[in-house]
């Protein structure tokens, strides 16, 4: 054990010397990075003792429908909202969907991007209640420049928009544990943003946290910019202020599509996030079961700003480290990340709130885009509202083949988005395109044979169909 500790110390010393010479990042970033790597090498990760895991009670994970209604008085509403800040995690690129630039500028609905919708929502809140809820965007070095240009178009809106960057850390070369940029990899590939757990130190390091506290702000609502369901909820804000909860994670009932999502547990008297990576192999199936672990983390978080300041200053936010091995130009590298949800166990009176599924509507792929662009939803004041004509509580399951993966290809294959209000499942593979006014109902599978171009004609109504060629239409 002693030999391993000496080897770890030697690695850290060499890494620290190499990082000290990197001119591209701040002293804060260097210190944060070395601290993260030191924790990783020390193997401090606590093993979860499976037998100690308890299902949280309704006091710990509060059912949404038990929350008291917010005050009806307009002045009281304004006073509540004036304590709030909205922060969107905007570090991601739309590369998965074949887009360059920040994911938040992909058009989602009626020509509006994620960012447009977020701005419209907060504008209508500020207008309705006469409050001033600011919007913060946490960018990464990948999205910063583009976002700065995009934000200019909102200069006449009634919102204060702040941007700040999350940390930029060097990727570590696995072979000798030295930073990739010190090996001559000077481009963006040498660096990585260390996950959204970095939101707390970055908010502080950027000076934004002190500014917000000086303005009398008390709570920040943090959410992914691609989650269309993550809208300001005054009932939740009111509950947290009334009960002085420093941290709240929105969770929602698990479906079979969410079995890998992190869940909340009670552990040694505190509420804690349990991620699949922490689960011993022999318990993975149990973790994925909907019976035992019924809820999962939506990554909609409400956090008290003073508490963030207290914990960051005390360097107390030691979240579980997620090692993420990658390869850059044939070189094996390691990046260490943390997740914001894991911070829950460090805050006082931390709770979960079991919210309706409508508050979790992420767009991770073009199959999600199909859902939100369809007649399953309408757009009101920037809010994506579910069509009441949809009887089933869950959304249809949609699987689109690789031909639809990129947004440009996806859009080219639909003259108009089909009606899917009565759809249960859709699977599409091969060279398939859709005419306008197509209606899909029940379970529909469309699989074009190799080398065959399959066009679904205008106005076609497909119900419980299995289509392999034009003859099946």
Binding site members: 103, 166, 195-196, 226, 364
Contacts of 52 (CB under 8 A, 6+ apart): 267, 268
CB atoms within 10 A of CB 293: 21
**Distance between CA 373 and CA 358 in Å, rounded?**
16
Instruction: Judge residue 43's burial from the number of C-beta atoms within 10 Å of its C-beta, 0-12 exposed, 13-18 middle, 19 or more buried.
Output: exposed
Q: Are strands 295-304 and 219-224 parallel, antiparallel or unpaired?
A: antiparallel
Which segments are annotated as binding site for substrate? Answer: 196
Contacts of 110 (CB under 8 A, 6+ apart): 379
Of the candidates 303, 147, 149, 148, the one whose C-alpha atom is nearest the C-alpha of residue 212 is 303
Of the candidates 407, 83, 27, the one whose C-alpha atom is nearest the C-alpha of residue 217 is 83
What residues does 169 pair with on adjacent strands? 192
To 5 degrees, how large is the angle CA 243–CA 249–CA 255?
135
Contacts of 468 (CB under 8 A, 6+ apart): 447, 448, 449
The helix/strand/coil state of 417 is: coil
How many Å separate Cα 278 from the centre of its chain? 20
Q: Do 32 and 202 meet the contact criterion of CB atoms below 8 Å apart?
A: no
Treating both helix axes as pointing N-terminal to C-terminal, what angle do 74-81 and 114-129 enclose, rounded to 10 degrees?
A: 140
- Tell me 102's DSSP state: B
Which segments are annotated as binding site for UTP? Answer: 103, 166, 195, 226, 364
């Amino acid at each position: 054990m002693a030999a391993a500790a000496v080897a770890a110390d030697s690695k850290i010393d060499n890494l620290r010397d190499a990082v000290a010479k990197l001119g591209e990042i701040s002293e804060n970033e260097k210190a944060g990075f070395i601290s993260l790597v030191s924790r990783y090498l020390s193997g401090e990760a606590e093993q979860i003792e499976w037998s100690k895991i308890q299902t949280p009670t309704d006091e710990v994970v509060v059912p949404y429908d038990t929350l008291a209604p917010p005050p009806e008085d307009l002045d009281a509403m304004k006073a509540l909202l004036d304590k709030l800040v909205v922060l969107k995690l905007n570090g991601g690129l739309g590369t998965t969907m074949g887009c360059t630039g920040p994911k938040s500028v992909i058009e989602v609905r009626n020509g509006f991007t994620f960012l447009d919708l977020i701005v419209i929502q907060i504008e209508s809140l500020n207008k309705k209640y006469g409050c001033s809820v600011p919007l913060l965007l946490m960018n990464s070095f990948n999205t910063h420049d583009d976002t700065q240009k995009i934000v200019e178009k909102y200069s006449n809106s009634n919102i204060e928009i702040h941007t700040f960057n999350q940390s930029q850390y060097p990727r570590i070369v696995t072979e000798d544990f030295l930073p990739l940029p010190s090996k001559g990899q000077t481009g963006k590939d040498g660096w990585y943003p260390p996950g959204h757990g970095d939101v707390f130190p970055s908010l502080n390091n950027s000076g934004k946290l002190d500014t917000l506290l000086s303005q009398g702000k008390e709570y920040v609502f943090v959410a992914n910019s691609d989650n269309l369901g993550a809208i300001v909820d005054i009932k939740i804000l009111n509950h947290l202020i009334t009960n002085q909860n420093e941290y709240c994670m929105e969770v929602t009932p698990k479906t079979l599509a969410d079995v890998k999502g992190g869940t909340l547990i009670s552990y040694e008297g505190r509420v804690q996030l349990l991620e699949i990576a922490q689960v011993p192999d022999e318990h993975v199936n149990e973790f994925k079961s909907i019976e035992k672990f019924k809820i999962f983390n939506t990554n909609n978080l409400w956090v008290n700003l003073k508490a963030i300041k207290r914990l960051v200053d005390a360097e107390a936010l030691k979240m579980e480290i997620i090692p993420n091995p990658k390869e850059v130009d044939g070189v094996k590298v390691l990046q260490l990340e943390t997740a914001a949800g894991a911070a829950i166990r460090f805050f006082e009176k931390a709770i979960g709130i079991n919210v309706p599924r409508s508050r979790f509507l992420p767009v991770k792929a073009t199959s999600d885009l199909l859902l939100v662009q369809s007649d399953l939803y309408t757009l009101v004041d920037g809010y994506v509202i579910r069509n009441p004509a949809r009887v089933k509580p869950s959304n249809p399951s949609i699987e689109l083949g690789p031909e639809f993966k990129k947004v440009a290809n996806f859009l080219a294959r639909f003259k108009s988005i089909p009606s899917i209000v009565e759809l249960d499942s859709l699977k599409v593979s091969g060279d398939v395109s859709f005419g306008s006014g197509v209606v899909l109902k029940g379970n529909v599978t469309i699989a074009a044979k190799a080398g065959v171009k399959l066009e679904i004609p205008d106005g076609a109504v497909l119900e419980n169909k299995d289509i392999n060629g034009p003859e099946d239409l």
